[in-house]
Structure formats: structure tokens, C-alpha cells
Structure 1
Amino acid sequence: MAFHSAQTQASVFERPVLWAPPKRAIDPAALDEKCRQLRERLLDIARAHQHTRLASSLSAEDMVITDVILRAAEQGESHQDIAAHIDIFTLETGRLPAETLALLDQIQAHYGVRLAIYTPDESAVQAYIEQYGLNGFYESLQARRQCCDIRKVVPLAAALAGADAWITGQRREQSVTRSDLHLQEHDEARGISKYNPLFDWTEQEIWAYVERYSVPVNALHYQGYPSIGCDPCTKAIRVGEDPRAGRWWWENQDSRECGLHVHN
């Protein structure tokens, strides 16, 4: 009996409890207000700029914003400016998980829209691989940041060319590097405005919205991944860990940004 008990305890420790989307109920009226506020924020952004773009990482947060944008016409004539003046794009780095790529097809099936996709320069990727190896980003912070620069930062610059504002799905709760996030920032590197309309949303509110409106999301979210990037740089996390603990997990927590949000 004692041996069986020891085996049972060992098996518990061998199977850590992974993060999962929260299921705690949100007051419907409170969620209604959050949704109204988000639509108004996006409407204000759309009317303040000529060329605004949502940089979608295809995260649950970005899918919430995407859903509001693509369903804006249903909210009445006053909200049609949101869909008309905010374009959506994503970065296909060449190392994304299959589940992330599958979400692109789900978005098209659900909304009838194909997102604009930007990819890295193939010659730059090949030069990196020749210098560092395919997975050389594990070896040093410099090598990792150079990989992110080639696969994300440079394509982002191309995606934002001609834009006077861009939108992200960042939230304060996500990381220590984002705890001081504000609704509006100035992107000094690109000389344009930057908005974080979900900056004050909680994880529970994000997933309450996803459930209410049946928003398509990455299947990896249901396998312990709150934050999803490139496949070799992302892993599932345990309950209670920092939401971005699975991103570049071999690095110090304070350095876990790819370079897209350099001022956070």
C-alpha cells in the first residue's frame, strides 16, 4: 500500500498542471461596458488617423480586436469607420507552429477575410542560418535578437510603411515588461502613433469575450500556451507562472521581448 501511494504521488509530480484559459464568470453588464469601451477606443483611433493597422500576432488578445474590427459594421453606421480605416496584418516568420498557421484559414472561414501576411527576406534568413545555425538563437541574447529582427522587426517595418498609427494586443497583466503600458504611445523608432486598446483588460475578460462571441483562437491556447510565438521559442507553462514564461524561457524574464515593442 505504501509503495502504491508513493507511485501515485510521483505520478502527480510528473504531470504538472498546465495553464488553461480561465473560466471564471464575468458579470455580463461589466463585459458589455468593456466591449463598448473597446469599440469606442477603436473608433477614436480610426477617426484620428488616415492609415491605421493592427499588427496581429494571432493571440487571443489580437483575435478579440480582430473580431471587433471585422464585426464593426453590425454595430451601426457610426462604427463602420472602424472596419473601413483599420487594416489587419500578421507576420509569418517561417517558424510558426502549425496551429498558428491553421488559425489563418479559420479566420478566413469565419469572417470571409484573408489577413495580409508579411514574411522575412529569404536571403537574410539564409545568411543568419549560415552564421549561427538554424537554432542559433539559443546560444546568446544577441543571436536571438538578431533572429527576431530578421523574422519580425524588419517585416513589421514593411507592414507599417505608409501607416500613421498601429494597434497592438498588449496588456499590462502579460509581463513585467508591460506593466506600465498605456492606451496611447509614440513609436519613436517609426515616427507614428501606437495604441494598446486592451492595455487594461484582464485575462478573464479576454476569454469571456472569446466565449461570448465564439471567436476563433489558436488551438495551442487549450494546451497550456497563454502566449504563442515561433515554435522553437515557445512552450507551455504551468498554472501560476508569468503569462510570458513560455516565451524565450531560457532568458532572463526582463529581456523577453522580440524588439517589436522596444519602449515597453
Structure 2
Amino acid sequence: MADLYTYENWSDTFPEFDSEDETKGALSALQWAYDTYGDSIIYASSFGIEGIVLIDLISKVKKDAEIVFLDTGVHFKETYEVIDAIKERFPDLRIHMKKPDLTLAEQAEKHGDELWKSQPNLCCQIRKIIPLKESLAPYDAWISGLRREQSESRASTNYFNKDEKFKKVKVCPLIHWSWKEIWRYVYKHDLPYNKLHDQGYPSIGCEPCTAPAYNVDDLRSGRWAGTQKVECGLHES
């Protein structure tokens, strides 16, 4: 791998991909990423609907790709059910269930019960950000399902991004996909998905911090509803 494609030796010389092709450049971007980074790239998935599309695309490029799921201990049962379905559908994938260092009981003892209510940012730090940092440590790059359409903060996302938070290259193959295109792909390929999507949950995170979306123009409006928080912090610099 050329040094100029690492975080440490960043250069804006990544190849361009055809955003008008069948997968809007996603499959080409993934092929290039796996050709370039080999075993030094991992997909961090929440197993939401974008994640299901990415998993199918990744499987076409690398059947035994590594995937990490941040198992916070407070996910919906439906999320674990779709992970089991994905394992059955794609048996060669290496899916790692990454748990935080603190159990929920230990976190409650140290910081108080239901920390997600009193200090949601700290809860995300303990149960998501630190575990992801640990998971990404051995790798040069990681894959994310961000789409430009999702929010203003994601509107300038590129296929390849310099991730200042984790000091890695962040690969975002789905940047040009629309919500309708995501669902069209899932139906076309008969992919398993989280059934909460059918119950008004377009964006699914931890159970205590996720409600059905209340704004049809904001797919993430059900996340941390009633607070000023809009991101868990994984995609913030």
C-alpha cells in the first residue's frame, strides 16, 4: 500500500469513481479500498439499513471481510436478530461483537444509573467511542455507511476521508445513495433487515436513546429526541 493513502501521510490523490454507475461508485470504491488496504481495513456496522446494503456489496468484493459491531449492551432485540440473520446469510464474514470495558452495572456504580439520561455524551464515549477506537487500532482504514443525504453534518462526506478523531482513513462508499435507493436495493436482493425500520425507526441506535422519527424530513429525528444531541460522536472531529 502506498504511504500516501494512510492518515499519517495524507494526500488528496484518491481515485475518482463513477457516481452514475449501477452502485453510484460504491462497489468500485470498495474494490479499490480492499485492493489497497488488504487486511488493514474493517467495516464498523450498526446493522441499520445502510449497513445491510454495505454488507452485501462488501461480500461481493471480500467474502471474509471483517466487521465490528459496537455491542453497547442496550441495543434492541431486533438488532441482535438481524445480526444473526446476516451471519446466516453471509457465513464467511468475520463479525466481531465489541463490548465496552465497563459492564452496565459497573458503569452505573461509577457514574450513576441510566447514564444515557444524565450524561448521554459520556455514555456514548464509554460504550461506543472508546470501543471503536480500540477496534480500529490495528487498521489503517475503516468503512462507514454515511450518506450525504442523512444530515447537514454529513453533506460534505467523500468516498475517502481523513478521520481526525480516530487517525484513520474513513471510507464511505454510499455517499451518493438516496434513502429510496437504499430500500430499492434491499428489496431487489431480498436482504434481511431490522424490522424496526417498518415501525417508524429509520435510524436505529441504542434502545434508550432511539424513538420513531417525528420529522419526515429528518431521518435521524428519533435519535436522542428532546435533547440537543444529534450524533453519538463517532463521526465528529
How much has 1:111 moved relative to structure 2? 1.8
Is 1:103 the counterpart of 2:79? The answer is no
Other-structure match for 1:34: 22
Using the size of structure 2 for normalisation, the TM-score is: 0.84
Secondary structure of the corresponding residue to residue 44 of structure 2: strand
The one-letter amino acid of 2:44's match is A
What is the rounded CA distance, in whole Å, between the counterparts of 2:67 and 2:217 in structure 1?
Answer: 31
Secondary structure of the corresponding residue to residue 142 of structure 2: strand
Query: Which of 154, 168, 175 is matched with 2:130 structurally?
Result: 154
Other-structure match for 2:158: 182
The one-letter amino acid of 2:86's match is I
Other-structure match for 2:8: none
Matched residue count:
217
* Structure 2: gaps spanning 5 or more residues: 1-18
What is the rounded CA distance, in whole Å, between the counterparts of 2:182 and 2:91 in structure 1?
Answer: 23
Whose Rg is larger?
A: 1
Secondary structure of the corresponding residue to residue 25 of structure 2: helix
Is 1:228 the counterpart of 2:204? The answer is yes
How much has 1:36 moved relative to structure 2? 6.8
Any residues of structure 2 matched to 1:243-258 within 5 Å, and which? 243-252=219-228, 255-258=229-232
What is the rounded CA distance, in whole Å, between the counterparts of 2:188 and 2:21 in structure 1?
Answer: 14
The one-letter amino acid of 2:189's match is Y
Work out the percentage of aligned pairs sharing the same amino acid: 35
How much has 1:189 moved relative to structure 2? 2.9
Is 1:44 the counterpart of 2:29? The answer is no
What is the rounded CA distance, in whole Å, between the counterparts of 1:201 and 1:208 in structure 2?
Answer: 11
Query: Greater share of helix residues, 1 or 2?
Result: 1
What is the rounded CA distance, in whole Å, between the counterparts of 1:210 and 1:216 in structure 2?
Answer: 8
Secondary structure of the corresponding residue to residue 161 of structure 2: strand
- Higher relative contact order structure (alpha carbons within 8 Å, sequence separation ≥ 6): 1
Q: Structure 1 pair 190/112, CA: closer, same or farther in 2 (3 Å)?
A: same
Query: Which of 174, 182, 185 is matched with 1:198 structurally?
Result: 174
Kept after mapping to 1: 8 A contact 2:29/2:173:
yes
How much has 1:62 moved relative to structure 2? 0.9
What is the rounded CA distance, in whole Å, between the counterparts of 2:214 and 2:116 in structure 1?
Answer: 24
How big is each residue's C-alpha offset from its partner over 1:212-252, in whole Å with a ceiling of 9 and x where there is no partner?
Answer: 11111101001100000000000112462410000011222
* Structure 1: gaps spanning 5 or more residues: 1-30, 73-78
What is the rounded CA distance, in whole Å, between the counterparts of 1:222 and 1:83 in structure 2?
Answer: 29
What is the rounded CA distance, in whole Å, between the counterparts of 1:95 and 1:233 in structure 2?
Answer: 9
Query: Which of 167, 180, 183 is matched with 1:207 structurally?
Result: 183
Any residues of structure 2 matched to 1:48-59 within 5 Å, and which? 48-50=36-38, 51-59=40-48
How much has 1:137 moved relative to structure 2? 2.4
Using the size of structure 1 for normalisation, the TM-score is: 0.76
